[in-house]
Amino acid sequence: MNFASDNWAGAHPQIAEALTNNAGGYASAYGTGDLDKQVERIFCDVFERDVAVFFVGTGTAANSLSLAWAARPGGVAFCHAEAHAIEDEGGAPEYLTGGARLKGVAGRLGRMDPNALGAAIREHPAEFVHAGQPMAASITQATEIGTLYSLDDIETIAGICREADIPLHLDGARFANALVALDTTPAQMTWKRGVDIVSFGGTKNGCWCAEAIVVLDPAKVGQMHFLRKRAAQLFSKSRFIASQFEAYFRDDLWLKTARHANAMARELATALSAAEGVRLAWQPQANEVFALMSAEKAKALQASGARFYPWKPPLSFASEIRDGDVLHRFVTSFATEPSEITQFADLLQG
């Protein structure tokens, strides 16, 4: 019963196997090998257009370099006030962009409010050097708290970005979970709705370590090659990332693992809803479930072997928390066993 995080899971057997299968022989280094090229073409297929792909080692690197790609001096990047880039990346986005500011924008349940975004941008008029200048907006899909932007939401935000002449970044650490939840295509969830650059995460969904920056219009690749190298993110044996992605996309493994994780989350939510002294904080839309219960209740469950943690309440939700209730997060993944859910459901009933 481990619902601690989707990065507590290891690697999907097919990912591990792919690495073993590709371990032999010689391949040109630093992303120039045949497998690297082949996987780049797979990305083009997945996104239904030519895209430029840059493998990197961590989601933080993908986000930080996507913003570095968009950076301007005195630049301000707009993201949800509780975005991963703000709360959990230890200053990497600021550092790797040469000191950009991440401006937190308000919004219900992890999603930037378009009006708030527009207002925040307008506080930084293009020619007013004192306030800094807008350089990018960033949305997280699925969000940090397991909610989703609809395709129309994305389009609305992209429109605001276009007006402000700034690119739109999508932090897709849980890209696959969002994709299958919305039952849409990568193209629809990104460039067809105005996204310019994507942090495409494989790690949380079954890879060991496979993240890619996808520049959706290859004509706008700019300085990304040098930015990645300068950030020490160009891997010599780059095929070890390519191999993972090759297996990830083969036979739609990535969609299957994401569907599984989301299904497990729904079942977990059902179990939590049914339990006394527990209520869902909001409906899960991807692979994270948030529930309120007393600290005592949580401790009892944990003592019985369930692994999950308290979570800082979103500002937009704080007022809905009753005295004595504590918000907790439960995360599912490709590795979650149905038996973990039923065992936990029993525990909740017990």
CB-wise, 26 or 251, nearer to its own copies? 26
Task: Kindly state the smallest distance separating residue 123's Cβ from its own copies, in Å.
Answer: 8
CB-wise, 194 or 202, nearer to its own copies? 202
Instruction: Report DSSP letters for 15-40, one per residue.
Output: HHHHHHHTSSS---TTTTSHHHHHHH
Task: Kindly state the smallest distance separating residue 191's Cβ from its own copies, in Å.
Answer: 24
CB-wise, 208 or 249, nearer to its own copies? 208
Task: Kindly state the smallest distance separating residue 27's Cβ from its own copies, in Å.
Answer: 6
State how far Cα 290 lies from the chain centre.
Answer: 17
CB-wise, 9 or 112, nearer to its own copies? 9
Q: How far apart are CA 138 and CA 102, in angstroms?
A: 10
Task: Kindly state the smallest distance separating residue 234's Cβ from its own copies, in Å.
Answer: 7
C-alpha distances (whole Å) from 145 to each of 94, 225, 305, 329, 339 are 23, 32, 23, 8, 24
Burial profile 6-44: b = 16 or more Cβ within 10 angstroms, e = fewer: beebebbebbbebbeebeeeebeeebebebbeebbebbe
CB-wise, 94 or 267, nearer to its own copies? 94
CB-wise, 196 or 340, nearer to its own copies? 340
CB-wise, 213 or 271, nearer to its own copies? 213
Residues 6 or more apart whose CB falls under 8 angstroms from that of 258 comprise 176, 177, 179, 180, 205, 287, 334
Please choose, from the candidates 87, 306, 285, the residue with its C-alpha nearest in 3D space to the C-alpha of residue 293. 306
Q: How far apart are the first and last CA of the chain?
A: 15
Q: Which residue has the tokens 């989301």?
A: 262
Task: Kindly state the smallest distance separating residue 6's Cβ from its own copies, in Å.
Answer: 9
Task: Kindly state the smallest distance separating residue 39's Cβ from its own copies, in Å.
Answer: 15
Task: Kindly state the smallest distance separating residue 151's Cβ from its own copies, in Å.
Answer: 28
Sign, CA torsion 307/313/318/320: negative
